Every structure is written in structure tokens, then in C-alpha cells.
Amino acid sequence: MHPSQDPSGRLLLSGNEAVALSALHCGVALGTGYPGTPSTEILEGFSALGGKAQWAPNEKVAAEVALGAAFARARVLCTMKHVGLNVAADVLFTMTYSGVDGGYVLVVADDPGMASSQNEQDSRRYAEAAAAPMFEPADSQEAYDLLHTAFEVSERWQIPVLFRLTTRVSHSKSPVTPRFPLDALFPATGAPQPEFVRNIAGRVMVPGHAKPAHKRLRAKLADLQEWNEAEGPNRVERRSAALGVITSGISYHHVREAAPDASILKLGLSHPLPMKTLRDFASSVERCVVIEENDPWLATTCRAAGLAVEAKDDTIFRFGELNVDRVRRILAHDSSPEPEPPRGRPPELCAGCPHRSSFEVMKELDCIVSGDIGCYTLAALPPIAAMDMMIDMGAAVGMGLGLRHVLPRAQAKRVVSVIGDSTFLHGGLPGLVEMAYNPPETGHVLVILDNGTTAMTGQQEHPGTGRQLDGEATYQVSYEGMARAAGVTNVVTLNPIREKARFKELLAEALRKDELTVFIARSPCILAAGRIAAWEKERKAREAADAATPPCACDPDCGCGGPAGD
């Protein structure tokens, strides 16, 4: 990270870079997560700055690794996109009960407008449903500052905290004045020394322990709500008494520009809401409007409490992100049809992408393709148009099996599940087990598209690449081994470009048989191929050097780990 610096020492950072720098300055001992736009650059930035950061196979595992670290009194950061929180929801809903001993901040990046997502779900609902505090920074400076506050809150109330970013906070750059120099590695912040202290009643959430834990959680939230009223990171800006706006996150900046004279209540900690502050503000202005993206969560909550606030017209403004023009319309009660944004060119699979070959083969064989999430989802668009469904990470396998179970035989025989390497490890693995456990009568075919990287989000490493987040070598998962271990006997590995004719022949044969077949279509992402080849060369050179090193000639107690000499 080499950010621009202005003459007064301010840095020009994206929201994600600001979180990464703040994590370093907060003394975060471990960052973990799963890549997902718009959250990906946080852990990459934290690692580049010298922090310990790692990719987990999915968000649930990441949130659990983080929980273990927080039980051990560490400060820990966990990052994911909004739909990733669905995967991690199981641990979220109970770790608020157990609470934590260290500081635990879970960054969730929402994508209003779906710049790169399959839905525009609103994570504020999770804060309320799971009873987790939620911070909402509006720009990079707030992302930097509020992360400090989030750790203070997490440690003071011993509770995991949600930190909600949105696409325009994560990916917009704005000035940041940091509290420490850019290169200050872990300045003294009073981060506690990790230590295990047994607390069975507090951490084993059997009903007998969870019942009092739930009561403790509600008491913590009540206490935190009082703190939020008195000294929370919320701000009232008094301007005109004719118009007041309640808002949070990036919407605050749109409001400042669209209605420069409006009074504003800007929320920084939006759960638990400071209801008295909201009530006082609403009654202090003639007209009070709630400006929020996506769900009418804030407006509904205010109205349920009897506050006289206006909400946006959700027949129009619930969809997509807000901007200055849309905020002007909301404030003017203008619900006329909005101008259509110009139609740009849609993205497509790169020329030379190995996925092209794979989908051409499936298209030629008239397959019904149960697909998944990654670059290859672009194969659903014309001119390839060879993917029939895509819903969530890992669903390719289960949906394909469901189709096979009920379709007439002739159609069932055409069904193929197609999933990328990282997505398979994230959510497809239990589907593979299901495939072997409850095989359809017609058998099934699973194609794992292994391009050696998490291409979609910008070429991150994963457990199948043999490299960790920072490129360090590690164990490498074998898809072939996993398929065989699950009980699948037909396992075929081939290169979909160089062996396209063979792929077509073997796939046609697999579709004819009433058996289970797993194909691993292996060819590197063309954007990552150079990097992968360089790494492979380095690894081989290192292995050759290791093989050439004579065994240690010292005694068995020297601790070098090598075989003892004579």
C-alpha cells in the first residue's frame, strides 16, 4: 500500500485501505475472512502492511477462527461481503450469546445496487436479528476512526461487533488523518496478551448456559444503548429547522450535497439505536426524513417507536444505491420514472479463458447446467448462454442433484453441476458428499473448473492453490482425493483447452452412464497464469535444493528437524 500523501500528512485511502491501516494501528493480532467484492482489499491491505492475515475456505470458518482468537483475548478482524454473512450466520447468532474476551470486529460489506453480487440484502437486519452492535462509517476517515471505537466497544461489553461498509464506502477514496505514522507497526494500543482462561458456562452454549447468556446479552445491549445515547459516535448538525434528515453511512454525504441547509442526525452506531436522540431530533424539526439505502429498516424502526418521520418511496428507491440526484428526488417527493442509465458494455469471459472451452463442450452436448458463482457465471450471458441457474456459493451441486432426482430420465441425463475451484472448497464440498450419499438413479456429473485461483475477486489464493494469502507455500487440497474419499469412482482430470475433444468424448460417456463422475477441468486463469508459473518454478527449485541438501550431521537432540548424521 503506497497511498497518496498531501502536504499536511493526510492519506488518500479507500474505505477498505482505511480499515486495513486502522486494524494495524489497533493492534489486530489476526485478520481472517473470505474474498468477496467489495470487501476483499481489507485483508490484502492488512497483510501488505505487515499484519497477519489469512483466507479461510469460507466465511463461517473465518468467523469461527476469529471467535477462537477472541476467546483467547486477542483483537481479531473478520471480513466478508454481505452474502458471506449468510454463511457465517450460524456462528454469529450464538457468539453474541457467548460474548468474547478479546475484541472481535466482523466487517461486512454490503452491495446496494449489486455492482458485483447476486442480491442487495441489507446487513442491518442481521445486527438486529443477532443482537450485535453495528457501526456504519460514512467514509474512509470514519472507517479508520470507528474501527478503534468498535474494538473499544467490543472489549468493554465483551461482545462481537458488526462493522458495516457498503460498496461506495469500501471502494471510494477520501482523505484520512491517521493517529500514527503509516509505517508504525502495531503502536502501543494496550492490546491484551492472548491467554486461555477457562469459562465453560460462558462458552459452551448448551441450553442451561445459553438461557442466562441470552439475558446477559440483552442487558449488554440495553447498557450499550444508553452509552450510544450519551456518548455514541452519532452527530447532530443543526442547520435549518424546516428540514431534518436522519441518515447513516455514505447516504450522509449525498444528503449534505443534495440538501446543504438540512439539519442532520448522522448515526455512527446504528444498532442498538439511540431512540431518545432520534426522538429529540425528529421533534426538533418541522419535517423529518429518513434517508437510507435499500431496506426501510431505520424508518420502520423510528415509526414503530411513534416518531413522525418520512420514509423514501420504496416502490422506487428500495432498489439500487442512492446518490445525490436520488436523494434530491426523495426529498422532493419525486416518484416520477428515473432516467435509464446508459447501457454500457457488459463484462465477458476473457479471450483465452479456459472456462470458454469448458462451456462450449457442455453447450455442444446440450447439457442442463446447474452453475455457481465466479467468473464462469458470465457463461450464462450471450453468446455462450450455457448456464441455466446460479443462486449461491456451492448450490451448483445440490441444485443439480435435485434436478436429477425428479426430472424425466431423458432430461435428467443432461444435468451437469459446474463449480469453480474456490467456490467448491467454500460451499460445494458438502454437496459432493450428498452426491455420493444420495446418488440419483441416473447418476450425476460434477465439473470442477480449476483455474488455480479465486479469479472473480482479483486472484486470491485458496486451499487448492497451495499458497496462503501472502503467497507463502502451504498444504494443497486435492480435488481428486476428495472426490474419491467421498466415494466417487470416476474421477477425470483434464485440460479443457488442450484436451477439448477428449473432454467432450468423456463427458458424453459420463452422461450416458448411470454413475457418479467428477471432472476436474484444470487450466490456469490467463490473468494469473504468469504468477502461477513463476511460483511453480520457484517451488520446484526449492524442492530440488532441499533434496540436494545433505542430512544434518549433528546429534538427534540438535532440534534442526533433519535426519541425524552418523
Partner 1 sequence: MSATPISPINVRFAGLGGTGVIRASDIFADVAFRQGHTVKKAEVHGMSQRGGSVQSDVRFGAEVHSPMIPDGACDFLVVLEPTQVEVVRGGLRPGGVLLAPADIPAGKLPTSKALNVALLGRLSRHFDFPEQAWRASLRMHFNEKLHAANNQAFDLGRNS
Binding residues for partner 1, rule: CB under 8 A, are: 2, 4-8, 10, 12, 37-38, 115-116, 139, 167-168, 171-175, 250, 253-254, 256-257, 323-325, 339, 342-350, 375, 378, 456-458, 527
Q: How far is CA 69 from its chain centroid?
A: 19
- Cell 469471459 belongs to 349
Position 454: which residue type?
T
Alpha carbons within 13 angstroms on the beta-carbon side of residue 562 total 13
The nearer residue to partner 1, 85 or 349, going by C-beta atoms, is 349
> What is the enclosing helix (H) or strand (E) of 80?
strand 75-81
Minimum distance from residue 146 beta carbon to partner 1 (Å): 18
Minimum distance from residue 39 beta carbon to partner 1 (Å): 11
Minimum distance from residue 478 beta carbon to partner 1 (Å): 29
As a dihedral over the C-alpha atoms of residue 30, residue 35, residue 37, residue 41, rounded to 10 degrees, the angle is: 40
The nearer residue to partner 1, 207 or 339, going by C-beta atoms, is 339
Minimum distance from residue 563 beta carbon to partner 1 (Å): 44
The nearer residue to partner 1, 207 or 342, going by C-beta atoms, is 342
Phi, psi angles (nearest 5°) of residue 282? -60, -35
The nearer residue to partner 1, 338 or 388, going by C-beta atoms, is 338
> What is the enclosing helix (H) or strand (E) of 82?
helix 82-87
Minimum distance from residue 170 beta carbon to partner 1 (Å): 9
The nearer residue to partner 1, 101 or 111, going by C-beta atoms, is 111
Cβ atoms of 146 and 319 within 8 Å: the answer is no
Minimum distance from residue 356 beta carbon to partner 1 (Å): 12
Cβ atoms of 553 and 565 within 8 Å: the answer is yes
Q: Tell which residue, 173, 169, 193, has the closest CA to residue 27.
A: 193
Q: Tell which residue, 171, 109, 193, 146, has the closest CA to residue 25.
A: 146
The nearer residue to partner 1, 306 or 339, going by C-beta atoms, is 339
The nearer residue to partner 1, 229 or 348, going by C-beta atoms, is 348
Q: Tell which residue, 422, 395, 419, has the closest CA to residue 55.
A: 422
Minimum distance from residue 387 beta carbon to partner 1 (Å): 15
The nearer residue to partner 1, 2 or 198, going by C-beta atoms, is 2
- In whole angstroms, give the CA distance from residue 252 to residue 323: 10
> What is the enclosing helix (H) or strand (E) of 492?
strand 490-494
Cβ atoms of 107 and 78 within 8 Å: the answer is yes
User: CA-based diameter of the chain, in Å?
Assistant: 91
Minimum distance from residue 176 beta carbon to partner 1 (Å): 11
Count of other CB atoms within 10 angstroms of residue 235: 11
Helix axes 89-98, 207-231, angle to 10 degrees: 80
The nearer residue to partner 1, 284 or 323, going by C-beta atoms, is 323
Minimum distance from residue 93 beta carbon to partner 1 (Å): 29
The nearer residue to partner 1, 116 or 490, going by C-beta atoms, is 116
Count of other CB atoms within 10 angstroms of residue 63: 28
- In whole angstroms, give the CA distance from residue 498 to residue 510: 20
Minimum distance from residue 325 beta carbon to partner 1 (Å): 5
Cβ atoms of 384 and 349 within 8 Å: the answer is yes
Q: Tell which residue, 428, 374, 419, 373, has the closest CA to residue 57.
A: 428
The nearer residue to partner 1, 190 or 339, going by C-beta atoms, is 339
Minimum distance from residue 532 beta carbon to partner 1 (Å): 16
Cβ atoms of 358 and 449 within 8 Å: the answer is yes
